[in-house]
Structure formats: structure tokens, C-alpha cells
Amino acid sequence: MTTAPRTHRRGVKHGGEISNVPLGERIADQLRDLILDGVLAPGAPLVETSLAAELGVSRAPVRQALRILGLDGLVETVPYRGTTVRGLDRRDVEELLRIRTLHEGFAIRCIVERGDHSACDVLYACCDEMATVGGDVAALNRADARFHASLIEVADHALLITLWRTISMQVRHVMAMCNRRVADARVIAAHHRRIVDAIAVGEDERATMLLEAHVRDVIELVLREWSEPDAA
Amino acid sequence: MTTAPRTHRRGVKHGGEISNVPLGERIADQLRDLILDGVLAPGAPLVETSLAAELGVSRAPVRQALRILGLDGLVETVPYRGTTVRGLDRRDVEELLRIRTLHEGFAIRCIVERGDHSACDVLYACCDEMATVGGDVAALNRADARFHASLIEVADHALLITLWRTISMQVRHVMAMCNRRVADARVIAAHHRRIVDAIAVGEDERATMLLEAHVRDVIELVLREWSEPDAA
DNA sequence: TAGTGTTACATTGTCGACAATCGATCGTCC
DNA sequence: GGACGATCGATTGTCGACAATGTAACACTA
């Protein structure tokens, strides 16, 4: 859910072991990257037969993959018509970022309530990492995504994490669609660090406000580059 | 799923037309009701082969159905092991209801921001309906569910509605698992009406607080009956 | 008896083929 | 010429069979 944890996989994290991960999920991962990297533009059709042929597999796992992506909100399937990469319009972006703020604010409250200090350590580490990426825009994006993902994870709220999966996927999608020119990485890292500072001293309201301000900046930045919404 | 709108279906709402709805979705609906009505207890295995045989269909649509339910957080699938009805423990219930409060509070803010008065009309109608169910517990549950669903819908926030699908499904699951003895329907209806009153005059904070109190009551009521968590 | 290797069974994963459905195109009729 | 209907191609929906995987019970060995 959405969404509950999709599957339970045990074992094998290290090395390049033989994967017992169902084909469908691996295909989904592959297609997801293609979409999120912008290789598959919004509106592009994803034909089961063609994909199966290209990937050298049967249609069954491809179908499963498309369903997973549909779940993630990355593609749209119409019965008997086909599946296409989902387009995002201005309203989608606004909705997405507001919801994101809502959930991150909730995560902050969870952390503060528990007074979990190790959580702050994790977040500080993310900030440090963010400060070191220099001018690499892609790396900054990744570091930023990692910070926000960590914020959700350390909240230690299983359902929140589940919901976050869907949201973060679409956030990545939005970010991929605008070649965001960013400010200095160290400035952004400092912004984030201030949020963690507030969390560390238990001021969840201030932390939330800082976070809202941060996300609002991002919204503005994104929407400015959103000249032509390619209409879903 | 979680989650973007699963599919777009056009046409045929009335009568018992021939359904062009894919079998898998119909099966999912059927199984969902079975789970939500408690016929299929948590932990019960859902074997693709057996279900296909019982329903007189092939395994393909059954697989699709199980995947949809997995998305809704109602079942759990482990690769090569099988699918079972998901069990809910005390923590799940608490997480669920907190998340629910979070989203409904957000919905309230959306409505107040837009100053949408027709929204309040819809909600008042739900309250009226709720007041008339008398001692029918099931009907009261349905009316309550309808109120909260309406609250989300009138917020007019597509992504919120999507996320709500997953949540509400699990809420129904929880409600189904405890034979909740409720207070007088008219009292509960009055509680809800007070929330709408606050929304109508734009006092979103008060509305949210009232709603939080309401949900907290529900949590308490549910958890009290949660003697033996059957452990996921 | 404790431990190990093996076998059998249940279940899901994957495959290729056929049927149902949809949209567009073309032809026909007024 | 315009509207209606049939046909066609493309795509997904469904099916039955086979392969891969994991669990558990069993026999075997030290």
C-alpha cells in the first residue's frame, strides 16, 4: 500500500549471488529506472509483447512488472487498451509535495515523541554527506533523497514507510523531469542540518516549519521549470 | 497504491450488464469481502491453484487478484512460499489509526482552505444518515466509514484519495476483527456533526482536535477488545 | 541418538497459445 | 458528401502445462 511491504525476501544481500528474486520484480526495477531517468517519456506506451520480446522473457513477468509500476504510480493501465508512462501535470506536482510535507512532518513528530537520539545521528550523517558532493547536481539529488528517506525510516513507523514508497517514487519522477539548477550544496546541507537541530532538541513544530519552508522552495523551483505541463 | 488509481474504467455502471472488468479485479473484490467479513481469518493460506479451481478460472486472474490484495495490505505474499491473509497486531492498529488521523486532518485543512461549503453539505448528509441507523451496529459502521470516506473525497486531492484507499481498506479490516459494541448512534452522529460545524466556520484546528478525540476513542475501544493479537 | 543427505510433495514462477476487446480504417448506402 | 456498419490490426485478458523453488518427512550414517 500501497501498500504493505510487497514481499519478504530473506537472505542474500552481499555479493552478486544467484538471485531468487522473481523475474517480474527485476523487470519492474529495470523499467522503473528507465522511467525515472527520463529515458521513457511520459505517455510512452509500454507494450507487454514488445517488452517481453526485447527482454527475452514471457509476457507473464512483464505483466507483473507493469502492475508493480502501476502501484508505484509510475504508469497507467487501461484494460484492453494498454499501459503508458504516467504524465504529471502541475496539479500532480503540487499535491505530491504537499503530501510529502505532511508525511515528513508526521515523521518528525514520531521521532521527537520517542526522543530517539540515534535517529538524529543518522540524519546528521546524511547532512554531512550532502555537504561534500560539491557541484554534482545528480549526487546532490541523491543525497537529498537519502536524507528524506532516512527521515521516514527512523520514524520507525511501518505503515508510514509503506505509504512513503509510493510517494517517494513519484517525487523522484518529478525531480527527474526538471533539470533542477540547484544552489550550493553546502547551503542546502546547512538547511537540512538546521531541521535536525530542531528535532534533536525536541522542537518538532519548528522542525516542521523549517521543513515546510524547504519543501516550498523546492516546489517553487520545480514549478518554475514546469513551462509546459504535458498533460496526463 | 497504493498508489495511483488502479485502472480507468469507462461506461456501464447501471444494471447487470456484461462486465468488461477483468476477472482478476472481480476476484479481488470477492476475496476482499471475504477477508473483510472475517470469513477468511488472518493467517489463512490463499493457494492460487485451489482458488482457481474453486472459482472455475485459471490461475492467471487469481494471481492478479492476490497481487491487488497485497497492494491493499490485506494479504502477504512470500515468493515460492505462498500467500496468506495478513494478521494485524496491536502495533499495526495503533499505526493505522494515527495515520488515519493524519490524513483526515489534512483533508480538513484542504476543505477549510478552499472554503468549500458544498463539502460541508455532503458531510452533514452523512451525519443525518448516521443518526437514523438506530441500533444496527453494522449499519452504523458503514455510515461511519462513509462519513470518513466522504471527508477524504471532498478534500478534492487526488493523491490523498489514492493513499486513503490503502488505509481505509485496513481500517475496515481492523473494524471487522473486533465486534465493536458501540454507543448510541445519535451520540456518534452528534460528534461528527460537531466536527463539520468547525469545518464550516473555518476552524480547522478545532475540527482536527475533535476528530483526533473521536479517533482516539475508537482506538481505545478497539484495543480493549484486542485481547489476543494473533501475531502476524 | 544426533546429524546429514535425499526424496517427495506442495506451491509459486514462467512460458507459449488462444480468446476477448478496443480503436481505426475502409467500404457501403442514403 | 456524410453517416452508418463491417473488417482489420494491435493489445490485453485468460488459459493450461511445465519448470523452479522451498518445506518437510524420511532413510542413512557415524
Contact B144, B193 (CB under 8 A): no
pLDDT in tens, B87-137: 888 899 889 989 999 999 999 999 999 988 899 999 999 999 988 887 777
| Amino acid present at B13 | K
The residue behind cell 537519502 is A146
Residues in chain B: 232
At residue A201, the 3 state secondary structure works out as coil
CB atoms under 10 Å from CB of A8, counted, come to 10
Subunit contact A3:B6, Cβ cutoff 8 A? no
Subunit contact B166:A96, Cβ cutoff 8 A? no
pLDDT in tens, B61-75: 999 999 999 988 999
Nucleotide nearest to B84 (CA to C1'): C11
pLDDT of residue B34: 92
Cell reading at B45: 493460506
Nearest CA among B69, B95, B64, B58 for reference residue B171: B95
pLDDT in tens, A98-118: 999 999 999 999 999 998 889
| Amino acid present at A206 | R
Domains, chain A: 23-85 (1.10.10.10), 90-224 (1.20.120.530)
Subunit contact B73:A6, Cβ cutoff 8 A? no
Cell reading at B157: 486531492
pLDDT in tens, B6-50: 333 333 333 334 567 889 999 999 999 999 888 999 999 999 999
Q: Above 50 in pLDDT, residue A121?
A: yes
**Ramachandran assignment for A22, one of left (phi > 0), alpha (psi -120 to 50 degrees), beta (any other):** beta
- Give the mean pLDDT of chain B: 84
Q: Which residues of A touch B (CB under 8 A)?
A: 1-9, 20-22, 60, 64, 67, 70-73, 76-80, 86, 91-92, 95-96, 98-99, 102-103, 106, 157-160, 162-163, 166-167
Give the DSSP H/E element, type plus range, for residue A92: helix A90-114
Subunit contact A1:B67, Cβ cutoff 8 A? no
Residue B136, min C-alpha distance to chain A (Å): 31
DSSP A18: P
Nearest CA among B4, B129, B79 for reference residue A99: B4
Helices (DSSP H) in B37-136: which residue ranges? 48-55, 59-71, 90-114, 117-131
Nearest CA among B127, B118, B117, B124 for reference residue B201: B117
pLDDT in tens, A11-70: 333 333 456 788 999 999 999 999 988 899 999 999 999 999 999 999 999 999 999 999
Q: Is the CB atom of residue A60 positioned under 7 angstroms from any atom of strand D?
A: yes
pLDDT of residue A65: 95
Question: A133-146 b/e with 16+ CB inside 10 Å = b?
Answer: beeeeeebbebbee
Q: Is the CB atom of residue A79 positioned under 7 angstroms from any atom of strand D?
A: yes
Give the separation between CA B5 and CA B199, rounded to whole angstroms.
28
Any idea what the Cα angle at residue A184 is, between residues A181 and A187, rounded to 5°? 130
Question: Quick one: chain B helix, strand, coil %, rounded to 5?
Answer: 65, 5, 30
Q: Above 60 in pLDDT, residue B5?
A: no
Nucleotide nearest to A78 (CA to C1'): D12
Contact B180, B225 (CB under 8 A): yes
pLDDT of residue A25: 92
Q: Which of B9, B78, B166 sits opposite A1 (nearest CB)?
A: B166
DSSP A225: T
Give the separation between CA A38 and CA A137, rounded to whole angstroms.
16
